[in-house]
Structure 1
């Protein structure tokens, strides 16, 4: 029997909300004073705009710490060992806690797909309900995936559950290229000791989740990514290497569906996969590194020409950000994806040494979409947040950071920033004990990254970025092709020759995608004159732009193009003509004739007509004379 159908016996229709936690956060002032006694160090080009307390926190109890993040529209979902929180981030500087759902089950790795929240459970529980208790791994237990419906984010509904062999330490959502009605989920898990079900080398389990009927979710495939090869085992040590963890399964997989690729971090091994067929991943290459202890996660650059792997040396329980561990251990390793395979090209380690009271190691992060650069934001636990430029793998540069002082004592469990991701121009960081941090990238280098109007993000499902607004629009020249284009309102539409002028452009409701960023292009020089945000109704409010001169007689195109609605454009023309005569030739023709002889273009047709009529009259007179 499918666990999704059987699970209804043990759950209520609506998940349990942590009422006291919600009330505490909603009543708290929006200022950053909640952590004023531990004021962070903040690097250049970064602004700390919001802090929100962990609504589940109970002192220093590790059963209530935050984990990973996922995004859907204006909502951020934050995983927790006790359940998950939903935050309204429509105003990033003022996040509002919408609901906090109590449903324990381990670190609660989380994803969103539209109105669905997926949570992988890697603690052995007595059953699949939110009221289940933790039980020993050596007794009958339940682990797997839980699915919630958050179509009403203030009242999430527990919709389904699927049992898997070894639970899910993490999971990865992979779209079905053949259908938008379902997604696949890669469940990543590895053995951690004596267990009833989770022993030996664990296969990758592939789950199908129908979006309209999540209760029908089920395992549809299994795959041993290591085939018949021996995965990294207890006696398999690279000479001179660290204490590498045995590969009994994968810790994390990052998929890049647009490129048909994925990168798997599998404790002792790193893998590059083809996921052209999501139900049948193929291992393209497997690598090992004498400096890496625990292959934790990976990130692609936008072109899928490079990967950065994170090494979680010490499992996050020690401070590896100290000179004692050197520059290559507990660090990032950048690998080039070349035709003949992966080639290691550089290493990055947090440059700010941390106190041994802190746990610091490379942890979860993602791409910051800056054109032509490989920039990531990454968590380092108590080492904070680091924004790193890896464009030159041999010479990585930290661009900025966010780092709190230590707690003043050594936490019994790991602490600090679990993960940090870029979303819609901001960085969102999940702090295990403290809560949620929101940071704004203010350096101009991030201007293009800030222009994405994201509709959602699962960081382990990496999107492709195109930067469409950087290329000038293509305007058709044929009248038949120009006629169907959206008409841009421009005032005044006709002006006299001048050195400079101003016009105002606007669009009615429905012309653009609501809220998207739109550019006003001056097509003669293919330059952006202004950038504005579309209204909630898809309109463009009256926007005044300065036209670069000199403006000689002619017809000049102005285009408005939005980022989200591209390649669609709205078109208008500004006619520059002297008060007499009325005809205005095309600007390109004017320039070709030097500008001063434009009147010839106007008078020539009249001269031809007069000559024609004179010839006809002369012929008639001759006929009469005969």
Structure 2
């Protein structure tokens, strides 16, 4: 989204949020639940397979003042970080249905694009400020100014600490985290920004700037390299322009980049251009292909499928200030465009537009979203500003379909600035949506289609750094054949472990602490038919409580394997054995000692010995008394 701060001066009201020292922690707002979040006439429309489970108010909100709107989201463990034009908030989402505001840090700078890496939070500053501190005020772009990225230490999320700032040319409209493949001790930050008229530092074509951030020493963060991605760039000619609320933009820099480190690729949305990049060397991205589309006015962002064979680009026609979700704009503008990644380059394969017409009081256009991890499908959760949230299946690029939605009615009047859902991202089976004015919305994916999307205990997520999902635990386990390999596996306790033949049977399975990762989801597999009998959750100590499962029959004489495997600890296995035996063998087993020798001869001899000893004693007493 275009930074509204470019259009007007920073209000005096921001001074009331000036940071004393490192940050001001705002008082938490009152807790609000979905049913109490909105008046009846603003209750949202919600599609099938989706449940609205929580709402939290924007802790920065000052009426309808756009200087205090929420922007993007990032995730680190059980915490969500929400950017804001006036700073950022940290929410505890250990229980997604009851988010708790941990802290709200006032540090104005506009846009507030956000990322979280370990104990660090990185914030984009796209306002020209008097200096890099949180106490800085807004100054004109034609005077000496500062803009770039700020870095905070959230080791204590209740008391975030200002750690560092890095100045970048043209500021940071958005940024993208790219891991260093050679070292886990640092990350690179791709800083995206574009020119916007009269400015001391931000004119012409802006290069991609790469900032190195040492995770243990953020104060040493610095610009490491710069790259012009458009050495031959020219503005769109008159024939490329389209009439309407906004014209195609000439390229002066990139709005957003989505990296896919596991594939060594990135997709860049750069105003008038879409780029496919190689980031095999993160410090020197290489443009693999550059595409233009006369139907696209403003390339906003892009999302890969899990195989990096398809890309969805979003077109932010009108910069988010108009309603493009109306018949007047047609189906191809302000929409999603699906492109195939082919050996000979990118090829456009289809478009998608929100199917629900929005009122003329609403601003609606394609905006930020992320991949919903469902194996074999290309499903995206995406924001449409006042068009709400849409979950779209792009598996068939030529015929995308909306699966479900969340759409709140308009405010009943036209906002001076844009409004609605800025971004929405999947995390641990829930969707988290950042509403600019309203706050934070939490939605639960309930359709069985999304079951696998819930089965990740992510340590964190920066949506512009797309992870590669692997469903190792979905395939049937492979049990080792050799006794030595089987002996090395965790032992699954099965009770009873021995039984007689039957059509079916119920047993209890359990594991001791440390067998699984705490809280992970695990499947109980019946290996004869490679079927999942139960799906359970590991305890906080990694144990598996006694769980009853029904074994499918017929259970004939033999030995059968039961396996437990977790989704987070896969491909590790725990194995147990069920012995099905006949009556005769069962009695024989009961009468066999640990060395496999029959017990009854010894028992008989012992009985005879005892009887004989008793008789001898009786006889001895009689003789003694005679």
- TM-score of the pair, normalised by structure 2: 0.89
Q: Does 1:175 align with 2:179?
A: yes
| Equivalent residue for 1:488, pick from 492, 503, 525 | 492
| Equivalent residue for 1:28, pick from 28, 31, 52 | 31
Contact 1:553 / 1:584 at 8 angstroms: preserved in 2?
Answer: no
| Equivalent residue for 2:421, pick from 396, 417, 424 | 417
Q: What stretches of structure 2 of length at least 5 have no aligned partner? A: 1-17, 590-595, 597-626
Q: Does 1:468 align with 2:472?
A: yes
- SS of equivalent to 1:447: helix
1:387-398 superposed matches below 5 A: 387-398=391-402
Contact 1:232 / 1:269 at 8 angstroms: preserved in 2?
Answer: no
1:398-417 superposed matches below 5 A: 398-417=402-421
Q: Does 1:428 align with 2:432?
A: yes
How far does the alpha carbon of each residue in 1:422-446 deviate from its partner, in whole angstroms, 9 at most, with x for none?
Answer: 0000000000000000001111111
What residue in structure 1 maps to residue 196 of structure 2? 192
Contact 1:142 / 1:163 at 8 angstroms: preserved in 2?
Answer: yes
Contact 2:68 / 2:85 at 8 angstroms: preserved in 1?
Answer: yes
Distance 1:104 1:56 in 2: 11
Q: Does 1:40 align with 2:44?
A: yes
Offset, 1:146: 0.5
Indicate how the Cα distance of structure 1 residues 507 and 409 shifts in structure 2: closer, same or farther if over 3 A, else same.
same
What residue in structure 1 maps to residue 272 of structure 2? 268
What residue in structure 2 maps to residue 17 of structure 1? 25
What residue in structure 1 maps to residue 219 of structure 2? 215
Offset, 1:160: 0.8
Q: Does 1:546 align with 2:550?
A: yes
What residue in structure 2 maps to residue 384 of structure 1? 388
- SS of equivalent to 1:327: coil
- SS of equivalent to 2:585: coil
What residue in structure 2 maps to residue 238 of structure 1? 240
Give aligned pairs, total. 570
- TM-score of the pair, normalised by structure 1: 0.89
Distance 2:121 2:57 in 1: 22
How far does the alpha carbon of each residue in 1:107-145 deviate from its partner, in whole angstroms, 9 at most, with x for none?
Answer: 100000011100011100000111100111110000011
Distance 2:71 2:542 in 1: 36
Contact 1:63 / 1:82 at 8 angstroms: preserved in 2?
Answer: yes
Indicate how the Cα distance of structure 1 residues 527 and 369 shifts in structure 2: closer, same or farther if over 3 A, else same.
same
Instruction: Please tell me the root mean square deviation across aligned C-alpha atoms, in Å.
Output: 1.6
- SS of equivalent to 2:219: helix
Distance 1:109 1:272 in 2: 22
What residue in structure 1 maps to residue 327 of structure 2? 323
Distance 1:444 1:36 in 2: 31
1:234-313 superposed matches below 5 A: 235=237, 237-238=239-240, 243-313=247-317
Contact 1:383 / 1:403 at 8 angstroms: preserved in 2?
Answer: yes
Indicate how the Cα distance of structure 1 residues 520 and 356 shifts in structure 2: closer, same or farther if over 3 A, else same.
same
What residue in structure 2 maps to residue 115 of structure 1? 119
Distance 2:43 2:233 in 1: 48
What residue in structure 2 maps to residue 574 of structure 1? 578
Offset, 1:470: 1.1
Distance 2:557 2:53 in 1: 50
- SS of equivalent to 1:258: helix
Distance 1:421 1:429 in 2: 7
Offset, 1:31: 4.9
How far does the alpha carbon of each residue in 1:514-549 deviate from its partner, in whole angstroms, 9 at most, with x for none?
Answer: 000000011111111100000011111111100011
